Structure 1
């Protein structure tokens, strides 16, 4: 257990440091802009590219793995969306709740924690899951908001916006370039490789610090009654469903299987707040959901890593 604590506490400690510094210095949220730009456009793309480019190309075409992990996320979204729609009858609000239950913090928390827990090979399944899940989320959100009347764009404009948001996302561009480099077996020159290495090493600390700052500057005003089902779906049901789904889909390596399960166990992504704010739907309660699930994930993620390291979870449920 001490090994797990040594793994998790520094990781969540970076979030706490960001939270504490933001509370002490009282800088406005806008002051975080350039750090977020550095993370999104530079460090995490460098990490994804560097590690994907070093991976044998055949490992990057595990379609059964991609389908199993992404489909489990879609099912979680549909569970929360359908339940909320039956109770509240509001498509836009139900969409945000569904995203809160399904859209994990796989961008800021995912790469750093997975690589720390399972080694550099974990970056490959993390990058694949990130790309395909974001394609799904970037498609679902505007389409459902349009159906709910929250997005007034025409369908051609909506489709163009979805495509541009997907193909121009820096993580997805970096992943595509990394896959191309792996396919052609191209290695960057030594000076460029060293630069990419420096940037990749900065990805996790900067992302976690920025996340702590963001949580501190979005005060907890109102805890929604839906926090219980959302938290259970996000932190417990989602990783369990992903584990079962991938066990059904095929035989994957320990790193790939448990990296996917770990990503499924992560708390609600800060991007869900951005989506809620963009459409003016369930904004304050989304902020509270992110904070509550992040705090609760300290216990759930620690417990999951303990079960993985202790061998409590078999590599394949259906050998």
Structure 2
């Protein structure tokens, strides 16, 4: 356990550094979008391209990982929405709560952390889960959020926004380009690969630092708007669902698939369970703000899951590896 903590501690310490920098105003809140853009449009796509181009195509097209992860995501979204809906939490808030329960922080945290723990062979299953969450899970939750009529343009407009978000998100494209490079054994010129490598190496520290800054900013903006105190029952159960139920569900369904002889590699299953044990994706806070959900609630779920994951994720790694 102690050896696992030695590996995971620096990753969570960088998140804490970003959080404290924003809270103490050492980092201007206006600078956070710039950090986010650097990670989203430059560093992380280069990291994903590098992994995609060096990963065998069969791993990137792993149907066992794809369908197992997709089924778990659908169950997570349905269950979280069902237990969240009440007089205070309607479809809009319940749907984004479901998204933080089903969408791990795979891009910013999971890729560097799990590759450090399990080796480069973990990249294939991770990339498959990223594609499912960015393309299907996010689009589904955005569409569900429109069901209570919070947007006058309705379902069609939500679907259009979800499609635009997918098309203009550089991460799926970088994964696709990496897969194409892997399929045709394409090797880019050395100066280009060195540039990609420099940006890819910057992805981990800057992304983790940015997670902390984004969490601090969400918390500070929610406080500045003088929201009424959010009851613990509105966000603590969702954080628990993310950190406990999600990895357990993936483990149970994945183990059942393996026992039934379905094409799911045990190592890939281990990677998937650890991905599910990650805290909630920090970018959901930005989506919640854009679509008018209670961003204070979403930010608290992300913050609680990120803080608690230092212990729960380390425990999951100890039990599975």
Give the TM-score of the pair, scaled to structure 1: 0.90
Q: Which residue, 299, 305, 311 being the options, matches 1:299?
A: 311
Q: Which residue, 209, 232, 239 being the options, matches 2:240?
A: 232
Q: Which residue, 224, 244, 250 being the options, matches 2:252?
A: 244
Q: 1:205-216 counterparts in 2 under 5 A?
A: 205-216=205-216
179-188 or 253-262, which deviates more: 253-262
Distance 1:117 1:149 in 2: 44
Unmatched runs of 5 consecutive residues or more in structure 1: 310-319
Distance 2:56 2:83 in 1: 42
Q: 1:1-319 counterparts in 2 under 5 A?
A: 1-85=1-85, 90-153=90-153, 156-219=156-219, 222-223=229-230, 224-249=232-257, 250=262, 252-309=264-321
Distance 2:146 2:156 in 1: 12
Give the TM-score of the pair, scaled to structure 2: 0.89
52-61 or 203-212, which deviates more: 52-61
Q: CA offsets, 1:40-74, max 9 Å, x none?
A: 01111111111111222222221121110122122
Distance 2:56 2:239 in 1: 37
Distance 1:81 1:4 in 2: 34
Distance 1:158 1:16 in 2: 34
Cα RMSD between the aligned structures?
2.0
Distance 1:86 1:36 in 2: 34
Change (3 A) 1:55 1:235: same
Offset of residue 275 of structure 1? 2.2
Offset of residue 303 of structure 1? 0.5
Q: CA offsets, 1:228-285, max 9 Å, x none?
A: 3212210011001111222223354454222211111111222221222122222211
Distance 2:203 2:267 in 1: 20
Q: CA offsets, 1:187-236, max 9 Å, x none?
A: 21222122211111111111001111122233375453133321221001
CA contact 2:39–2:206 (8 Å) conserved in 1: yes
Offset of residue 109 of structure 1? 1.1
Q: How many residues align?
A: 309
Change (3 A) 1:149 1:87: closer
